[in-house]
Structure 1
Amino acid sequence: MSLSVPTMAAIRFGYGLRPGEAPVQGNNDLLGQLKAVGQSPPRFPVGGIEARRKQIADLQQGLHDLRRVADGPTRRQRRDVLQKSVEHSFKQDLNARLLQAVLSPNGFHERLATFWTNHFATSASKSLQMRLVVPLYEAEAIRPHINGRFADLLRSATEHPAMLIYLDQVLSLGPDSAGGLSKKKGLNENLGRELLELHTLGAGSGYTQADVRAAAMVLTGLTTDRLDVDMVFQPSISEPGSQKVLGVNYGSVRRSPRDFLSLLDDLAANPKTAQHICRKLVVHFISDQPPDDIIAAMTAAWKRTDGDLTSIYAAMLDNPAAWANPGAKARQPFDFVVAGLRALNDEGGDGDVGRFFEAYGNDDVTDTQAMTDDDPAAAKTRKATQTMMAIGQGALRRMGQPMWEPPSPAGFEESFSVWITASQLAERLRWARRASAQFGQGLDPREFLKATLADAARDDTIRVVSQAPSKISGLMLALASPEFNRR
């Protein structure tokens, strides 16, 4: 089965078709999205980057002050206030991140942002401060660089406080540095290991444990400021002397940031990094068994352009195999939920997805359990908030892909078998029923199917949806169809 270019472009390389939105016509339109986004900030972190930095500093000061309070009810109460404030901000960011993908006309750009945030994975569950730092990380360290050079993206992600905290680089001291000797603490190899294994060369690429340790040594000194949680380089905790990584020496008696930056640049330019990254891109977008000729074309573009990511994406899109075998990939839970909400965000329906999430996700209602049942307004808000959780973040958690909380530094899995299982399909069916009832009133299932799947809809799916006993059932069956769960 072959699909039209607009349908394939939307489903395989974006977040699906949306009623009323002009379809993408091909490669140039997809690549044009990278330029169209420009410097426009994402919807998160809510309040903007500068406000978030102040919020992080305020949290750090609050936690610092809390340490001076004796253990007891007062300390617990103040800690609870800080916790609730951070969790409220995190909930706002989660909803804003979901809406960013749902409402953006630049689906390819959004997919790339999700890919790179997962490639350079961090987790908001690491600590309280990370609930504020991780949304900032995607907004300022990942998104601005996804159409530039890989070397710049690598540096931006590695240096960001989210990465330094998540991989415990803030705990790493050169064993023979002044700080390491005085504090009797030593090296943490996490960042050095993941830098080689996950972020650049890839597992099985030939590096050794000695290379991991040496890379971790080169990275010593890279840490964060305790109050502002911003990246700083501290020579006093940086391991002195030269370190050899993959046969190259970095550093001398006195260490400087130039040493770890040179290491990052060399890793970015390594042919094995190009092979690893290009393969991951093809696995993400096209097939769990990536065609060798696409990878070869992308690595050639990498070498020719010094890792210019836009040129690498273009090499992928230019290959005919990138547009073949529709449905080879499973839509991950986030893809599925975003695609479903985009499809249901139709002016013909009774519910507006954007207004609903903004009204009940970014308000000041944080304790719905405290609302009394005899207050109609409170009951309405509680029900709407519960619905929002069931359709948004709660659903993603039940499906195994909570936003900004990957299970490990390797990020979320990509393979079809992980996401298309009996339990997954049961959760997706429940989600489709709930979302259709909330946002699908007034929509015709047959027109809905035509608008959201176009020529990807199979004859048996068209028949089943057309024969559904009710409109809501028809919408649910369209969202639960094999075509809608694949890309």
Structure 2
Amino acid sequence: MQFDGDLAEIRFGAGLSPLQPRPASAEQMLTRLQGADEMAQRFPVSSLEDAAAGVREFRRLSKDRKRQEGQRGYEAADKAFKSYRRAHNLARFGWHGQRLLRHIHARDGFRERLALFWADHFTAQGKSPAMRVLAAPYAESVIRPHVAGRFEDMLIAAATSPLMLHYLDQNRSAGPGSRVAKRRKRLSGLNENLAREVLELHTLGAGGPYSQADVRQLAELFTGLTVSREAAFIYRPGMAEPGAETVLGESYGGGKAELEQVLSALRDLARHPATAQHIAWKLAVHFTSDTPEPALISHLSARYQESGGALLPVYAALLEHPAAWETDLRNVKPPFDFVASACRALAVPETRIAALRPGQINRLLLAPLTPMGQRWEFSGGPDGWPEEDGTWITPQALAARLRWAMAVPRRLAQPLPDPRVFASAALGRFANERVQFAAGAAETQAEAVGLILSSPAFQRR
């Protein structure tokens, strides 16, 4: 395999940039991934713990407003709640700008792509007004620290995250025979959502070697995982189903209910051969093709099992396999990746994003993703965003991309780059004759830049 810096940045990174040199080797990409998270330090996003404090304040003000209804203090309470709710929601726009800046300025684009991949693999989102802004802090605290670590650590962090427990209704799940269920008849009872998604989506895969009985037993084992009033993870033994549970033939618990028995089951699931196969398939689809080479999947799966679920060796296996370096650009960029890579190619200055008000970030960089087919941070279900190219290339979605490409770059990069220079900066050796012709034949500079960004060559990776 001959390393290709242009292809590496397009397929495995955040896209080509006139500000950043292409990676020199796969070894350099992996070394950077093991190093400090420079972009998280430079463009910070709230931690989940800090953002949870905002959730608590949101709820406090909401309750105070409700208590004051019909009383003299209602007007002040209503004003305080609405003001905080607006600031609470606007924080999401600011975090979106920070995450875009990471893609624009990263030397380590592979890390940015992996952070997106794993946040989607472990999809979690808020279902109440107080919790809806937590997706970025969740990715920051639960996903990002583990992208170069061990899969089991990321799995445990996700499965015990307050946002995941809230999203999949695990926070209300109690064992039918638990102490809490016997005392409180109004509990909703056992909920299988988290157990099912851990088996079907996060570890073994939809066709994995588990049964409905395994789902039920894992759901009983998960009772006790819940969220405190402070919006933090807590394990409550009183909610746990008494006795041992058997999952895939292994017995867990049986004595005093403890968190460690849950973590032990998650570690075993993370190390299962079916999990290795499932993760290998997902990585191969995401980075190469909707129909990846079986040899690549086998290579990644074998490395996963050899490493005991350490992810860095799996990434090395991906970057060393010839199937990962097919020169045809196949996968269509999802909307966020399209906008982020466009901003990177345009070298949008940090000062320009920082100067945008939250509402402008929404109008220019966040809201346009919805007509492109991706309502950012709110996928259709716990399985995350589709990988199939057809999802992103509908007439309506392509029209939305074209509108964005023609209208927004001039608002972000002033002056716009020379189109012929920009074609090379954005696509490198993939700037084919059709792209070069469009760059030279357009009537205006803005139109030329828009045509380059709308070209099939830029839409794929």
Fold similarity call, TM over 0.5: yes
Which of 171, 192, 212 is the equivalent residue of 2:215? 212
Deviation of 1:42 (Å): 5.1
Which residue is 1:295 aligned to? 297
Deviation of 1:52 (Å): 3.2
What secondary structure sits across from 2:356 in the alignment?
helix
Query: Map of 1:75-474 to 2, 5 A cutoff?
Result: 76-124=78-126, 126-184=127-185, 185=187, 186-226=189-229, 228-345=230-347, 352-361=348-357, 385=360, 388-438=361-411, 439=413, 441-474=415-448
Change (3 A) 1:40 1:104: closer
- The answer to whether the Cα contact below 8 Å between 1:113 and 1:143 also exists between their aligned partners in 2 is yes
- The answer to whether the Cα contact below 8 Å between 2:93 and 2:362 also exists between their aligned partners in 1 is no
Deviation of 1:41 (Å): 3.4
Deviation of 1:473 (Å): 1.4
Which residue is 1:475 aligned to? 449
Which residue is 1:370 aligned to? none
Deviation of 1:30 (Å): 1.7
Which residue is 1:35 aligned to? 34
Query: Aligned AA for 1:34?
Result: L
Query: Aligned AA for 2:26?
Result: N
Using the alignment, how far apart are the partners of 1:391 and 1:193 within structure 2? 38
Q: Output one character per residue of 1:97-149: Cα deviation in whole Å (capped at 9) or x when no partner.
A: 2222222221110000000000000124x112323432221111100001011
Using the alignment, how far apart are the partners of 1:209 and 1:361 within structure 2? 50
Using the alignment, how far apart are the partners of 2:299 and 2:437 within structure 1? 41
Q: Output one character per residue of 1:247-289: Cα deviation in whole Å (capped at 9) or x when no partner.
A: 1111114211111111101100110001001100110011100
What secondary structure sits across from 2:451 in the alignment?
helix
Which residue is 1:6 aligned to? 5
- The answer to whether the Cα contact below 8 Å between 2:244 and 2:251 also exists between their aligned partners in 1 is yes
Query: Aligned AA for 1:262?
Result: S
What secondary structure sits across from 1:128 in the alignment?
coil
- The answer to whether the Cα contact below 8 Å between 2:58 and 2:81 also exists between their aligned partners in 1 is no
TM-score by length of 1: 0.88
Using the alignment, how far apart are the partners of 1:447 and 1:168 within structure 2? 52
- The answer to whether the Cα contact below 8 Å between 1:341 and 1:353 also exists between their aligned partners in 2 is no
Using the alignment, how far apart are the partners of 1:322 and 1:298 within structure 2? 11
Instruction: Structure 2: give runs of 5+ residues left out of the alignment.
Output: none
Change (3 A) 1:105 1:165: same
What secondary structure sits across from 2:35 in the alignment?
helix
Using the alignment, how far apart are the partners of 1:196 and 1:433 within structure 2? 44
Deviation of 1:63 (Å): 3.8
Q: Output one character per residue of 1:449-478: Cα deviation in whole Å (capped at 9) or x when no partner.
A: 011111111112212221112221111111
Using the alignment, how far apart are the partners of 2:102 and 2:244 within structure 1? 45
Query: Aligned AA for 1:98?
Result: L
For the aligned residues, what is the CA RMSD?
2.2
Change (3 A) 1:361 1:200: farther
Which residue is 1:379 aligned to? none
What secondary structure sits across from 1:109 in the alignment?
helix
Q: Output one character per residue of 1:327-369: Cα deviation in whole Å (capped at 9) or x when no partner.
A: 1110110110001011111xxxxxx44222212235xxx6xxx
Using the alignment, how far apart are the partners of 2:414 and 2:439 within structure 1? 14
Deviation of 1:406 (Å): 1.4
Using the alignment, how far apart are the partners of 1:40 and 1:480 within structure 2? 28
Using the alignment, how far apart are the partners of 1:213 and 1:331 within structure 2? 38
What secondary structure sits across from 2:24 in the alignment?
coil
